[in-house]
Structure 1
Amino acid sequence: MKFKTGIVFFLLFAYSNTFSQAITDFLIPKELSENANAIVKESKEKLEIINSKKMVYQVSKKIIVLNEKGDEAAASYIYYNNERNIKTLEVKVYNMMGNEIKKIKKSDFKDVASQDGFSLQQDGRIKYADYTATTYPYLLHFTYSYETSDTAFLPRWTPFDDYLVSVENASMEVIYDSSVGFRKSEKNFEGYTIQKVETSNSIKYTLSNLQAQKREPYGLSPDEYFPKVFFALNHFYLKGYEGNASTWKELGEWFYEKLYKSQTELSPETVTKIKQLTANAVTDEEKARIVYQYVQDKTRYVSIQLGIGGWQPMLAKDVDRLGYGDCKALTNYTYSLLKAVGVTSYHTVIQNDIYKYDFDEDFPIIQGNHMILCIPAKDNIWVECTSQKNALGYIGRSNEDRKVLIVTPEGGQIVTTKKYLTKDNQQITKAKGKLDISGTLQVNMNRSFQGSQIDFRTHLESKTPREQEEYYRKVWDYYNSLKIKSYTTQRNQDKSTWEEKFDLEIEKYASVLGNRYLIPLNVFSRDVSIPDKTRNRKQPLKILRGYVDSDEIEIEIPDGFTIEALPEPVLIQNKFGSYEAKVTMKNNIMQYSRKIQINEGDYSKEDYLLYRDFMTEINKFDNSKASLIIK
């Protein structure tokens, strides 16, 4: 039997004595298939920086996909634009017998606009290989190369793409002209065996035989855990603009002078109008609130990535005329309006993500995927200009508590955005209900979300009433017969909260056993999950955000009931937080109160089991019941 060169050594060296075992465990070494959906068989990357206006990048990747979940690791696509010229592009697919089953040439790649779902116009495009696997495992060999005049963004080396992917061999070689001020920043190398060979004008990294890592509950994001290397130039070129970035101050100066300063012009009519609107405002914050409301009422978010539009905002007067813009355009428009009424603000470049992502104070580099606005004050006011609903100063979980770049006329500065403290992130529930003799509960509930917890509901603003109701049924899916008689759910801009009101009927809320009624005490917050068990945990315990949930519930009980048993008051306190619950009965009113606080923090991996025990206890007490007897 004849095998292709790329496949044969799976079988020759597999830890197996039979062909059938080789089909199952064809990767070398065998342990790399453990926990893996895909294996990076070989990844070779080479970056050659000719000068500050030219670089060439070559990639060859062989990826073994073991199952359907591993298909994503073998996704084959390349971004290009007017400045990025694709030289070579090809995909070959092999089955485990070594036979080529698919070949996709450059001309066969699908070619689509680089759309994000909001864009009106973009000049960037994506070529991607359209391959759907029919059998597993298979090996995909993806090769490409391109040449570009843009050197502001150098490819980074990330040998691990994600959890559940093994790496047999991965390398990255960079050859550079020493006059361009080449720099590198190595992250998360601890615990990994990475070879590095460096000369006066080149560097090469190699990593071999690393097993797939499982995502651990309350663990680290891939960005925090997997090794990576950033590369940058002190002297770069971006779509016709030369720049310098040896310091954040210098990079900020370039942003301001080349990209922002020329884009702030407004029409005289708009300047006059905004001055009139703010004429009676006394403080900068009062003026900012008026300007922010004006922007929210007048504009909507639409992404535009045309030319240097990925980094330079539209003209403020064009946003004013058209009524739309992307994050940069709307931020710049707000900046320009504030400037017109004498309020200082700064464009702010940020990495918007649910995980907290810090810009490295010691490694200036063009990065980030979003822009917000900073109004300097004792406590800086941060403004999310793409939202038509946010209250001034609310920036949400995806922007809070991270190091970002603010751009001033004097240059760039790294600062930290607003942090929502544990005490700020509240869910407050108050309810009154009436139980009837059949066990059905009629209940009215008010709930308020504050701080970062608002983000758990804001997606409902774009939903239909039917979709909203379906969402709430999933929230309370522990009820089989929940009837939502009426409700309101909406943002309260004045208070910077999210408010809910419900009129509900819950059939068989109480379990009726003869003349005994078992009544659950926690009506609305039985959603505390128990973290999964983990064996041989490798990562520390990371609680990304703290929060406080409190409930006050009153349930009116029909006449004729006597107490058989009420749960004892509960108080648990430890470094992870606290839990308190108690129930009392006065006349025919059962009063239940509950408060849980979880503290944000980084804890040792050994703490994980203690935290799991803590959450297990909370879950148990959240399911406590009162026992009443009817005469």
Structure 2
Amino acid sequence: MRKNSSFLSITIFLIGYLFCHLTLSAQSRNDNSAEVLTYDKKIEIEGKKLSVWVEISIQINNHDGQHMTQVAIPFSASNKIKDLSASIINASGNEVKKLKKRDAVDVSSISGYSLYEDDFNKVFELSYNQYPYVLKYSYSISYNGFLSIDEWTPVIALNTNTKKASLTLTTPTDFQLSIKEQNINQAIKNTEGGKVIYKWTGNYTAESIKKEVFSPPIHELIPKVSIVPLNFEYGPSGSFQSWQSYGEWLNQLSYGLHDLPESEKQVVKNLTQDLPDIESKANVLYHYLQDNIRYTNVAIGIGGMLPYPASYVAQNRYGDCKALTNYMQALLAEAGIEAFCTDVYADKVPIDIDTNFPSQQFNHVILAIPTKTDTLWLETTSNINPFGYLGTFTQNRKALLVNSSQSKIIQIPAMTNVETRRDTRIDISIQAKNKIQAQVNSKFRGDDFETLLYYMKSESKSEIDRFAKSKLPYQQSPSTITKINQETRDSQEIIVEAEMNLSDYGQQFGEAKVLNLPRLDFPKIERPTERKSPLFFPYPIHYKDEFEITIDESIKVTLSNGNDNIDSIFGSFSVTSEKINNKIILTREFIIKSGRYKPEDYTDFFEFISSINESRAKTLITLK
């Protein structure tokens, strides 16, 4: 993956709380077991050198706060930590313990999917057994060459208050920079002794950010300051004056890296020489990539931004997203097909790229192939993705298409309702009130498809079945999965078939048995009085269920509320039905549109979902 702009920031990492990777699933309640008293960071730029000093004081109030004494400070092999010191101050204000040099160790920060990284953490733990006490520590670090100045936030951990924090930046008077301030006061700016001094102050209350369903990514909610130089020398000289200029710099990084060995050129020729068009040639080369090259992270060289040459990937048969995209681009070029690397922020819940702030806001690279009528998109890191499928990980967001002086921000197409729809047909046979069987056929698409496809390639049969059953109706009833099938490797749906015993489903009222429709696959949502965050649906949620219920002639059947329709700005819900003798044919459809909504819209959303739940509860099949 492409490293984010924070890779040059001296962000504080407390083990388990890498703030630059915080998600809404992280715990956000304030348990008062610890609090950050002060967090001060100073940055000074002199020529090509960037120097950073950090001081932090954390008060530990009880045993539950001890995790905050486990500290990991990131650095790289070429930019090492200096002047590290740490001490414990007891409740009386006395220093009772100091960090010994041998107790701070360097640990490689290689992640589980990495082969090699140039990054490390300086790790130590310094604690005390009498509460409350304060852990104080400080350090400095310098960089010769930088692409980012800082991405700073007063948030150290989501569930821990920060009482007082500051960022001070000192630059030469002629140094040009670009600043983005989010949920924080503007900097105070002064000029002293031929230097410009910017200062931001802030704090953080853990209760201000709450874990809520369908919320934007945490990066959009926390207070944050992002700072980049307008012009930089990081490898080649570059500029953040515009997206075009940044794209030109990225283009320079990959210049001359399409050096395919002759053996690979021959492979391309053999695979494509008899194929008629761009799509068929790109398809066969994509499958060749998937079948022969594996993804692994290799984060070294110019801050992890530099792709490995196509020859390296061809020889070693692995690479990261930059290397694999560059390699695939080289294969296509050999076949006479033009393609462009495209930088994107990849996540199912994507960050909204600020197009007015040219900078390194991306974490991934994909490939765009223009055709006569459309654009093909290739995710080169996946060996299971269908050809041309991006999915929830990269759809519907801004991205930077890298094309030298014509580089520009583009919009990646959004997945449609049809592309995310789960179609389920349920054939139910009621032979007696306590003898009910069902045959289920469901087509998984979108997020469900991606998850099930991953399980099919990497998990045991029991885990595959467990996930599939969790997405089918009547989840609490006994069932057996009879089929899971992706028709071809490029099919964008998986068919799941199951047999179910629904004999115990429903409620008995005297001699009558009442069946309602199964619950929708939708999480419980907060009441309006409890909600704080905006609503965010990155892609549509779409379910269509078709029931054909055949009832034995000896059973009298009635259907109530068999037709309903609810429309909203958020989506729609409908039920249609017809009863023919002792057969009921019923169709239910539920759609949530993709989009962002303000917190003040949440009450209307809650009422929309509540009305759907009420409608479902009223749709009843009564057997007598």
- Asked if 1:469 is matched to 2:465, the reply is yes
- Asked if 1:397 is matched to 2:397, the reply is no
Quickly say closer, same or farther: Cα 1:529–1:291, change in 2 above 3 A.
same
Quickly say closer, same or farther: Cα 1:98–1:481, change in 2 above 3 A.
farther
Aligned residue for 2:329, secondary structure, equals helix
Cα distance, 1:484 vs. partner? 1.6
**Contact in 2 for aligned 1:487/1:501 (Cα 8 Å):** yes
**Contact in 2 for aligned 1:440/1:509 (Cα 8 Å):** no
- Asked if 1:313 is matched to 2:307, the reply is yes
- Asked if 1:281 is matched to 2:275, the reply is yes
Corresponding residue for residue 46 of structure 2? 50
Quickly say closer, same or farther: Cα 1:38–1:282, change in 2 above 3 A.
farther
Corresponding residue for residue 499 of structure 1? 495
Of the three residues 588, 608, 614, the one matched with 2:608 is 614
Corresponding residue for residue 386 of structure 1? 381
Corresponding residue for residue 345 of structure 1? 339
Q: How far apart, CA to CA, are the structure 1 residues paired with 2:67 and 2:258? A: 42
- Asked if 1:159 is matched to 2:148, the reply is no
Q: How far apart, CA to CA, are the structure 1 residues paired with 2:285 and 2:145? A: 37
Aligned residue for 2:150, secondary structure, equals coil
Aligned residue for 2:154, secondary structure, equals coil
Cα distance, 1:167 vs. partner? 2.9
Report Cα offsets for 1:153-181 as digits up to 9, x if no partner. 322121235654433211101112345x4
* Residue type of the alignment partner of 1:279: Q
- Asked if 1:230 is matched to 2:226, the reply is yes
Corresponding residue for residue 143 of structure 1? 138
Corresponding residue for residue 517 of structure 2? 521
Cα distance, 1:35 vs. partner? 7.4
Q: How far apart, CA to CA, are the structure 1 residues paired with 2:176 and 2:401? A: 24
Cα distance, 1:205 vs. partner? 0.9
> If the length of structure 2 is used for normalisation, what is the TM-score?
0.85
Corresponding residue for residue 598 of structure 2? 604
Quickly say closer, same or farther: Cα 1:167–1:422, change in 2 above 3 A.
farther
Q: How far apart, CA to CA, are the structure 1 residues paired with 2:268 and 2:339? A: 16
Of the three residues 181, 191, 197, the one matched with 2:189 is 197
> If the length of structure 1 is used for normalisation, what is the TM-score?
0.85
Corresponding residue for residue 363 of structure 1? 357
Aligned residue for 1:276, secondary structure, equals helix
* Residue type of the alignment partner of 2:383: Q
Aligned residue for 1:262, secondary structure, equals coil
**Contact in 1 for aligned 2:562/2:619 (Cα 8 Å):** no
* Residue type of the alignment partner of 1:562: K
Q: How far apart, CA to CA, are the structure 2 residues paired with 1:360 and 1:446? A: 43
Q: How far apart, CA to CA, are the structure 2 residues paired with 1:569 and 1:483? A: 29
**Contact in 2 for aligned 1:39/1:167 (Cα 8 Å):** yes
Quickly say closer, same or farther: Cα 1:134–1:231, change in 2 above 3 A.
same
Of the three residues 42, 55, 58, the one matched with 1:60 is 55
**Contact in 1 for aligned 2:507/2:514 (Cα 8 Å):** yes
Cα distance, 1:464 vs. partner? 0.8
Of the three residues 112, 121, 136, the one matched with 2:116 is 121
Report Cα offsets for 1:359-414 as digits up to 9, x if no partner. 43333323422111111345322211001111222112221222222222435322
Cα distance, 1:569 vs. partner? 1.4
Quickly say closer, same or farther: Cα 1:292–1:182, change in 2 above 3 A.
same
Cα distance, 1:333 vs. partner? 0.8
- Asked if 1:176 is matched to 2:171, the reply is yes
Q: How far apart, CA to CA, are the structure 1 residues paired with 2:314 and 2:63? A: 48
Cα distance, 1:565 vs. partner? 4.6
**Contact in 2 for aligned 1:331/1:373 (Cα 8 Å):** yes
Unaligned residue ranges in structure 2 (runs of 5+) = 1-28
**Contact in 2 for aligned 1:485/1:505 (Cα 8 Å):** no
Cα distance, 1:46 vs. partner? 0.5
Aligned residue for 1:290, secondary structure, equals helix
**Contact in 2 for aligned 1:521/1:592 (Cα 8 Å):** no
Cα distance, 1:536 vs. partner? 7.0
Unaligned residue ranges in structure 1 (runs of 5+) = 1-32
Q: How far apart, CA to CA, are the structure 1 residues paired with 2:276 and 2:363? A: 35
Q: How far apart, CA to CA, are the structure 2 residues paired with 1:527 and 1:91? A: 50
* Residue type of the alignment partner of 1:581: V
Q: How does 1:16-165 map to 2 (within 5 A)?
A: 38-52=34-48, 54-64=49-59, 76-93=71-88, 103-130=98-125, 139-161=134-156, 163-165=158-160
Aligned residue for 1:117, secondary structure, equals coil
Q: How far apart, CA to CA, are the structure 1 residues paired with 2:580 and 2:557? A: 11
* Residue type of the alignment partner of 1:621: S
Aligned residue for 2:286, secondary structure, equals helix
Give aligned pairs, total: 591
* Residue type of the alignment partner of 2:511: N
Quickly say closer, same or farther: Cα 1:407–1:447, change in 2 above 3 A.
same
Of the three residues 412, 419, 425, the one matched with 1:424 is 419
Q: How far apart, CA to CA, are the structure 1 residues paired with 2:488 and 2:435? A: 32
Q: How far apart, CA to CA, are the structure 2 residues paired with 1:440 and 1:529? A: 31
Cα distance, 1:44 vs. partner? 0.3
Cα distance, 1:42 vs. partner? 0.9
Report Cα offsets for 1:413-460 as digits up to 9, x if no partner. 222222223453211111213234363433222222334553343432
Of the three residues 247, 251, 255, the one matched with 1:252 is 247
Cα distance, 1:321 vs. partner? 2.4
Quickly say closer, same or farther: Cα 1:396–1:568, change in 2 above 3 A.
closer
